[in-house]
Amino acid sequence: MSFNLLVLTCIAYVILLFFVASAAERSAQQGRAKWLRSPLVYTLSLSVYCTAWTFYGAVGYAARSGLEFMTIYLGPTLVFVGWWVLLRKLVRIGREHRVTSIADLISARYGKSNLLGVIVTLLCVAAGTPYIALQLQSIALSFTVFVSDPGRVPLAADKNIIAFWVAAGLTFFTIAFGTRNLDANEQHHGVVTAIAVEAVVKLIALIAVGIFVVWFVASGPSDILARIDAQALPEWTIQPGRWTGLILLSAIAIICLPRMFQVTVVENIDDKHLATASWAFPLYLFLISLFVLPIAVIGMELMPEGANPDMFVLTLPLHLGQDGLALLSFLGGFSAATSMVIVASLALATMVSNHIVVPLWLKLRAARNLDSGNMRLLVLSVRRLSISLILALGYIYYIISGGSEALAAIGLVAFVGVAQALPALMGALFWRGASRNGAALGLSIGACLWFYSLFLPSFGPDVMISAQVLEHGLWGQSWLRPYSLFGLTTLDPLLHALFWSLLLNTLAFCLGSLLSFPSPIERVQGALFVNIFDRPGPTRSWTNPVAQAEDLLPMAQRILGASEGQAFFRAQAELQGKSGFLPDITPEFLQGLELKMSGSVGAATAHAMISQTVGTAVVSVEDLMAVASETAQIIEYSSQLEAKSEELTRTARKLRDANEKLRTLSDQKDAFLSQISHELRTPMTSIRAFSEIMMDAGDMSVQEQAHFARIIHDESIRLTRLLDDLLDLSVLEHGQVSLDIRAVNLRDLIDKAISASKSVQAQRNFRILRSRDPEDVEIVTDSGRLTQVFINILSNARKYCDATDPQMKIIVRQRKTMLEVDFIDNGSGIPRDKQALIFEKFSRLTDSLQAGGAGLGLAICREIMNNLGGDIDYVPGQGGAAFRVSLPLVLERKPMAAQPPAALARAEDAD
Amino acid sequence: MKLPSRNTQFLARDSYRMRRLMDAARILPVLGLILLVLPLMRLDSGAESPPTAAEAVYLFLVWIGLILAAFVMSLWLRRSLGPPRPLVTPVSGRQGMAAPSMPPVAPKDD
């Protein structure tokens, strides 16, 4: 095939990709891109793992080492089949924290440390450069193999020039689609779709060649298996060390490779896509690997001695005259190489700009105190420049290395390089104690070891490292020989480098983490990352900022673009219930802004930029004080509320009590009225009845008349007494009684009361037991009223005491300023349930006729005693009815003004 | 589907099945690795040339077995995953978080 035709085919293919990519971008912008982000596209985009190294190199690898080529695909298969353990967490963290690259993730986890970002970026660039060179080499190689007329076009023979133009073209494509805008999540719909198309092309191409080989060259699977065994070389024997080591290495690589991180984590939009990819991506790898060994075996069989097995996929169809198949195969290889270069350079450029150039530039700006200008344009320019730089580096590496090595070797060197990020990454996901210092130490040591023991020697003796050093070690120290460090000579160079670098890396990482103390922000991030499934919702670390929204808006506009930035601010203001573009600068708002910006420039840079504007890089003491005082205020306020509510409860209870009391009083008043009308009615009725008899009956004897008149007279007296009592009670209750206070002897009063009470039931003979000495007390009180109380008690006893041989004990006691007089009879006393009632008005324990009173006696006694500053109580358990009268020895004459409150107090005491 | 918290002692039958399926998903890669290194233990150093064809058949069979197992598991496991992220990132998905003005909860332990 002519060179020009081949070039035209390539250009047409690239233009097709270009259209696919821009169509995808357009529909993504219009929001119609559902199918673009389907699990299928996600899975196909993962196939960027299968580079030209797979497409061409795997066959060469199989031809040299047999089944060992499979390890490169078995490792990733295990990682994806076990997605639940690792990838699920990685993807979730990447999405929640808007991670833009593996360097960004490690930097964000370890306290948004830019140092770690720089280390990982440098490591990835160092490891990625040879890998990109490898792609350029394979494309250049395939061109020279394919072109049938190298004589006519001198250009076609010069691989370096071809590689240069390929690099330039890829730079252009990557810039056009990878840096069209600063996407919020660093997602590139166009690129991902183009990659998916390329994935299909390379799969179809390889399977087509495979089917041709198995069914058209050989005669089916069994024939192929026979030929495999026939061709098997002794070197094909599986070597245990390399077999497990390479499975492990490729498993690490699929996690740590920057381009794989880009498509797996950064471009992921849904956990469910990962669920699909968990089986679909291994299936893709399976299909890619299925025909590798057959192609290698047939190639070895049919191709002339000395043919490069790395090119069998291309040369075998050509050799067999299948030009169309060869062209398809060429396009497959071209696809594999271009997709890898595009994604890798995009991922690396993002890392370089976010972790090296922009922070440096911010520092410079801070030093010179300059305005930042258009950040957005700056970031985009930096990214474009970085892409060019990385491809240029790849090209330079290709020129230097001479493009002569086997493809597989370069790929594995890169794998070991990126594997150095593994301990820090695993620590980030699963170990909260992992610290920044440990990660930095481990990464540095691992990177240095890789550089010295694998990367530099990979150029060959006397290119980067002298044959002298290679042979005898640095400074002639044999334990420093690059391929047998510390005297370890049994492993091959790759495993040797992998073993020492990962071992010492991990040890340093663990030791550094165990011995250092992480900063607060590191610990917060650590908890958020490790417990990503327990705690939905992103980090919050901004407290009481001092910046104004006016300062932040221009910065956000520069990063996010004018319309996007304004839309974000307006939406945030709306959330806070404000109109316009300037929300309050709350910690939540700053958090959101940082997250949004970190999608564009990385976590560390976004944090640094907001820190710079806000004015506090870390949480200051003032912030903490503010938070503390805010908390204190809240606590105080809530305790005030609590006190208030308690007070309210108390007031409510008081009100309820007062209400209850009022109701009781009202009930009592009703009962009193009904009682009093009853009491008045009874004598009235008999008076009326007897007076009517006397009026109607004319022939009434004088005796009868006298009898009836006496009844009427008695009833009138009873009525009068009742009215007197009521009046008395009313006067006493209202405190309007005028007391006649003077000094008297208690014994005289008791004497008087005993003799006065004798008229009641005079026929009963009471024995009075007295002790006359204690009774000899001078008291100052109203003697008349007090005597009335004594008489009442003694009369009651005479009336109600049911003992056959009644007796009354009178005991006088002095207690401080109070005097107690107990009246105890030997009757059956008052039943317990009635004891509370006896002092109530109209309470009579027996029939009213028998008692001959209105039942007001004890009620009046209580009122009198209250007026005399004392009290009267029933004392149970004394062997009969026992009343205790207590009164002060000296009754203070109360001023008149104090009486109404006293009356009120009594009303309250009454119940 | 929201799974019950880890603190729950006993689970309903469905949740219990889901938990065991997650366990299986964690075991699968280990099982895969063991099956993939088995050929190492069958090495016959006396043979002139290695039994490459047989090994290849064995490895590809293990491989497709792993893929099938992952496929079946993913059908069930994907139910326990959250809703997807919208294509156009919303300006703020934080309305639901009525954030109290308190500093973040201190980590339990380090």
- Quickly list DSSP for A86-133: THHHHHHHHHHTT--SHHHHHHHHTTS-HHHHHHHHHHHHHHHHHHHH
Quote the DSSP letter at residue A157: G
**Structure-block tokens of residue A669:** 């008043």
Domain match, A531 and A586 both: no
Write down the residue that tokens 């996929």 correspond to: A313
Of A380, A411, A442, the position where a domain reaches its end is A411
- A508 located within any domain: yes
pLDDT in tens, A656-704: 989 988 888 888 788 778 877 877 887 888 888 888 888 887 777 888 8
Domain match, A514 and A652 both: no
Domain match, A462 and A400 both: no
Of A692, A711, A730, the position where a domain reaches its end is A711
Of A490, A512, A539, the position where a domain reaches its end is A539
Which pLDDT band, with edges at 50, 70 and 90, does A184 fall under?
very low
Distance from CA of B6 to the nearest CA of A (A): 9
For residue B66, give the chain A residue with the closest CA: A81
Domain match, A161 and A237 both: yes
Laid out side by side, the sheet with A807-815 consists of A767-770, A807-815, A818-825, A882-888, A871-874
* φ and ψ of A808, to 5 deg: -130, 125
CB pair distance less than 8 Å for B70 and A433: no
**Residue boundaries of the structural domains of chain B:** 13-43+51-80
Dist CA A907 CA A662 (whole Å): 10
pLDDT in tens, A533-550: 775 444 444 444 445 666
Distance from CA of A587 to the nearest CA of B (A): 8
Domain match, A607 and A749 both: no
Find chain B residues with C-beta within 8 A of A293's C-beta: 52, 56
Distance from CA of B51 to the nearest CA of A (A): 7
Ranges of H-type helices in A616-758: 621-696, 702-733, 746-757
Domain of A436? 421-539
Distance from CA of A406 to the nearest CA of B (A): 22
Number of domains in chain A: 5
For residue A240, give the chain B residue with the closest CA: B40
Domain match, A462 and A446 both: yes
More confident call, A371 vs A741: A741
Is the pLDDT at A737 greater than 80, yes or no? Answer: no
Domain match, A399 and A287 both: yes
Domain match, A202 and A285 both: yes
Q: What is the pLDDT of residue A148?
A: 60
- A661 located within any domain: yes
Q: What is the pLDDT of residue A682?
A: 79
CB pair distance less than 8 Å for B36 and A247: yes
- A725 located within any domain: no
Cross-chain CB nearest to A81 (options B66, B82, B103): B66
More confident call, A380 vs A468: A380
- A726 located within any domain: no
Distance from CA of B20 to the nearest CA of A (A): 13
Domain match, A369 and A467 both: no
Amino acid identity, residue A312? Answer: F
Q: Which of B40, B87, B97, B105 to mutate to test the interface with A (most CBs of A within 10 A)?
A: B87
- A310 located within any domain: yes
Cross-chain CB nearest to B52 (options A31, A236, A526): A236
For residue B71, give the chain A residue with the closest CA: A279
CB pair distance less than 8 Å for A237 and B71: no
Q: Is B35 on the interface with A (CB under 8 A)?
A: no
Q: Is B84 on the interface with A (CB under 8 A)?
A: yes
Find chain B residues with C-beta within 8 A of A275's C-beta: 74, 77-78, 81
- A804 located within any domain: yes
Residue A793 and residue A883 in contact, taking contact as beta carbons nearer than 8 Å = yes
Find chain A residues with C-beta within 8 A of B40's C-beta: 238, 240, 243-244
Tell me whether 0.85 is exceeded by the ipTM: no
More confident call, A553 vs A505: A505
Dist CA A680 CA A677 (whole Å): 5
Domain match, A205 and A256 both: yes
Q: What is the pLDDT of residue A560?
A: 73
Find chain A residues with C-beta within 8 A of B59's C-beta: 67, 70, 74
Residue A269 and residue B81 in contact, taking contact as beta carbons nearer than 8 Å = no
Pairing assessment for the beta strands A807-815 and A767-770 based on DSSP bridges: parallel
pLDDT in tens, A285-301: 999 999 999 999 888 88
Q: Which stretch of A134-148, A348-362, A577-591 has the lowest confidence by average pLDDT?
A: A577-591
Domain match, A187 and A116 both: yes
For residue B47, give the chain A residue with the closest CA: A234
Domain match, A606 and A651 both: no
Find chain A residues with C-beta within 8 A of B71's C-beta: 279
**Structure-block tokens of residue A581:** 């573009």
Is the pLDDT at B83 greater than 60, yes or no? Answer: no
pLDDT in tens, A512-523: 999 988 877 777
CATH at residue A764:
3.30.565.10
Quote the radius of gyration of chain B (alpha carbons, Å): 23
A522-533 burial, b at 16+ Cβ within 10 Å, e below that, comes to bbbbbbbbbebe
